[in-house]
């Protein structure tokens, strides 16, 4: 997945930070977000830069992330994959991509309520979730104003790269946007250091 990522990377639903650490090993700047405080603490404890935020909340670098990751079924966040992709496309900005892990079943498109049961048998309150297959994602992306530009399989897992349409910008605008992104990424990194 990270072979197709360009920094800065936003890992949506980062959990304990597996992708953050993999990005760091490749010298790709990355920030994770998760709504579960324990997951954010684990990601930070392992050296990752993670924020306790929802993808639908205000986030740093909005419109300037080069790659947004939705791994491990996180296309299901919120139970509305089209709204999630629309939001992620907005976070990625012009020319950015959303890298999504999808289900192996091509036509799968399920939206419903789920619960999580922990090791002690305690069940969470129901929450909205979705599952989307590798062919069904094309329609979901189109509903969000995005396009699937690549599809691949790796070690039995299925992925797509989804892009926002690229608007024409001048070299000066691209240079300015890159400089602003680099500065903001450095500021986020500095502010996360205890």
CA dihedral angle for residue 98, residue 101, residue 103, residue 109, rounded to 10 degrees:
-30
Of 45, 46, 43, 47, residue with least CA distance to 32: 43
pLDDT of residue 189: 56
pLDDT band at 174 (very low <50, low <70, confident <90, very high): low
Total structural domains in the chain? 1
- Domain enclosing residue 137, as ranges: 2-192
Cα–Cα separations (whole angstroms), residue 15 to 52, 77, 96, 153, 161: 10, 13, 23, 22, 21
| CATH number, residue 147 | 3.40.50.150
Q: What is the pTM of this model?
A: 0.85
CA dist., res. 174 & res. 176, Å (int): 5
- 176 pLDDT band, cuts 50/70/90, is low
**pLDDT tens digits along 1-44:** 899 999 999 999 999 999 999 999 999 999 999 999 999 999 99
pLDDT in tens, 111-154: 999 998 989 999 999 999 999 999 999 999 999 999 999 999 99
Query: How is residue 165 annotated by DSSP?
Result: P
Q: Which residues pair with 109 in a beta bridge?
A: 132
């Amino acid at each position: 997945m990270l072979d197709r990522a360009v920094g800065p990377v936003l890992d949506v639903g980062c959990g304990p930070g597996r992708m953050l650490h993999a990005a760091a090993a490749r010298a790709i700047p990355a920030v994770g977000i998760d709504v579960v405080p324990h997951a954010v603490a684990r990601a930070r404890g392992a050296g990752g830069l993670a924020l306790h935020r929802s993808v639908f909340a205000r986030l740093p670098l909005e419109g300037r992330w080069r790659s947004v990751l939705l791994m491990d079924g996180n296309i299901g966040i919120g139970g509305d994959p089209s709204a999630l992709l629309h939001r992620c496309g907005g976070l990625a900005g012009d020319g950015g991509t959303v890298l999504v892990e999808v289900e192996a079943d091509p036509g799968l498109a399920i939206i419903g309520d789920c619960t999580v049961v922990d090791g002690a048998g305690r069940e969470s309150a129901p929450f909205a979730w979705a599952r989307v297959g590798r062919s069904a994602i094309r329609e979901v992306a189109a509903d969000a104003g995005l396009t699937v530009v690549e599809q691949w399989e790796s070690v039995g897992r299925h992925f797509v790269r989804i892009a926002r349409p690229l608007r024409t910008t001048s070299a000066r605008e691209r240079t300015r946007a890159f400089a602003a992104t680099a500065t903001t990424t450095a500021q986020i990194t500095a502010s996360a250091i205890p």
